[in-house]
Structure 1
Amino acid sequence: MKAVQSLLPLSSLEPRKLKRTGYVPAFLGGGLLAGLVPFINMTVRPTMFTTQPGSPFHILMDANWQLMAQLNILLLVCGACILYHTEYEGNAIQKTETLPVTPFFLFLGKLGILILSCLLPLCLEAISLLLCCMHWFPDDAAVGMLLIKGIAFEFALMLPTAAAMLFISSICRNMWICLGTGVILVFMTSVLPADNAVMAMLPFVSPYRILHRLSHTQTFHMLAGCAGEIVLFCLLETIYLKIRRLS
């Protein structure tokens, strides 16, 4: 009951804060940009993909998802920076402490908004992939279920990245330091071997994984690891808040 009462003020405060930022246009524009990747790739080199054997959805994901995933991660970096910049600008976070909202529930509220925001670019990308399949592979009728499973899996893999980046944002008062840290992590982890089981679990690496390339056991391990990482970053946030309170 206390948790619900603490989260209720966030339902009206957070959207009002985001109206003064470019948060929604950023996710909309980023989703449209990522959605254009498979369309442009198929327009420029159609025969390269239409002559390949196998599922059209798998072909499109293999050819385009690495770039699309990187754009999604950059969106999470920008979104997390904006979410906490609204708190640190003008010492708004100190004013928030006068409300019946604990700092940890403030973090959870922002995490919920960031997670829901992931659905916007993913839906736009799913529509783009579906249209590409319908236009260049009109004879394939099984793309629907593959698309739903694939996008749902990618959504799950983005959640630890959102939690990790939001944790970084919560400890950086300067948005540019937070943004620079996120961008460095994006490009440093993009060169790590994603086929390595340990490396693939890192928050900024896991979104590059594709469902059809994994076995059932690997898929289960990835999803379980993602759930554990979300809990881990929430615990790290509680520890940081206690340290900040004592300092």
Structure 2
Amino acid sequence: MSYALECKKIKRTGLIPAFLGGGLLAALVPILNMSFRSEMYMTGDIPPLQILLDANWQMMTMLNLLLAVSGACIMYHTEYSDNAIQRMAALPLRESRLFFDKALVLTVLCALVLFIEIMALAFCCQYWFPDSGTFFPLSFAELMVNYGYLLLLMLPAVLISLLIASAFKNMWIPLGIHIICIFMATMLPVENFILTLFPFALPFQTLAGTETSRAVHFIIGVVIEIIVIGIGELIYLRIRRCFE
């Protein structure tokens, strides 16, 4: 019931068209890049998907993260405006349920954005690398595996964005924190595995061109981070209740 309520709330915020527009904008990045500079990427023996991700994914991820953090801030801003979150506290509904329902909604929106982008990458592979057999039979499975991997690595950023947004009534404060974190993530050295586990740095990682053992370590790190962030939100809610 509360998840359905969250879906109704976002209809008034404009998040759905914003995410669709942002996803289409990010999807245009590899298409435009290949349209104007395809000769730069069509030489060598590197798999087409890896070429496209290496050339475009950083910019696409920046757009994805900006959508995610903006969505998190807006979702909690609607709760704090007119003291709606205080009135909801009087209902027979756990505050933690509110957080996890918002996380699910934001994850679905991010999954939609990533799906649009992965389809754009598939189109680029098929159009500019027709001899690679991108769609069938194995390459399509490869695309879906990469899609699932990219979505999984996006989850810690989604959850930490919501956790930070839930702590401030003024949405500009968490938005500023998120922007700083995103730019910090772009400056972290990718060779240092521990630093790449920073939640806002994880979405910049790709499966294509990554060693299997390193990818497994990323997956384990993401699962641990999801659990830790979830527990952190529960602890924060308990502390906040003590001071209300």
Q: Shorter-chain TM-score: what band?
A: over 0.9
Counterpart CA distance in 1 for 2:225 and 2:18 is: 26
Paired residues, number: 239
Give the match's secondary structure for 1:51.
coil
- CA deviation digits over 1:67-126, x for unaligned, max 9? 111111111101111111110011000111122211111111111111111111111101
1:227 aligns with 2:227: no
Counterpart CA distance in 1 for 2:189 and 2:17 is: 33
Conserved? CA contact 1:27–1:75, under 8 Å: yes
TM-score (norm 1): 0.93
Equivalent residue for 1:137, pick from 129, 134, 141: 129
Equivalent residue, structure 2, for 1:108:
100
Superposed CA RMSD in Å reads 1.1
Equivalent residue, structure 1, for 2:11:
19
Equivalent residue for 2:36, pick from 5, 26, 44: 44
Q: Which runs of 5+ in 1 are unaligned?
A: 1-7
Give the match's secondary structure for 1:211.
coil
CA drift of 1:50 comes to 1.4
One-letter amino acid of the counterpart of residue 171, structure 1: A
Alignment of 1:68-79 (within 5 A): 68-79=60-71
CA drift of 1:218 comes to 1.1
Equivalent residue, structure 2, for 1:195:
191
Equivalent residue, structure 2, for 1:5:
none
CA drift of 1:30 comes to 1.0
Conserved? CA contact 1:194–1:206, under 8 Å: no
Give the match's secondary structure for 1:159.
helix
1:35 aligns with 2:27: yes
CA drift of 1:212 comes to 2.3
Counterpart CA distance in 1 for 2:46 and 2:235 is: 49
Conserved? CA contact 1:87–1:93, under 8 Å: yes
Equivalent residue for 2:202, pick from 193, 201, 206: 206
- CA deviation digits over 1:109-150, x for unaligned, max 9? 111111111111111101111111111111111432221111
Conserved? CA contact 1:56–1:140, under 8 Å: yes
Counterpart CA distance in 1 for 2:46 and 2:212 is: 19
Q: Which runs of 5+ in 2 are unaligned?
A: none
Equivalent residue for 2:87, pick from 91, 95, 106: 95
Moved over 4 A (4+): none
CA drift of 1:239 comes to 1.1
Equivalent residue for 2:50, pick from 47, 54, 58: 58
Equivalent residue for 1:240, pick from 217, 223, 236: 236
Counterpart CA distance in 2 for 1:77 and 1:245 is: 25
Give the match's secondary structure for 1:212.
coil
Equivalent residue, structure 2, for 1:123:
115
Give the match's secondary structure for 1:99.
coil
TM-score (norm 2): 0.95
Counterpart CA distance in 2 for 1:166 and 1:227 is: 17
Give the match's secondary structure for 1:45.
helix
CA drift of 1:213 comes to 2.7
CA drift of 1:25 comes to 1.5
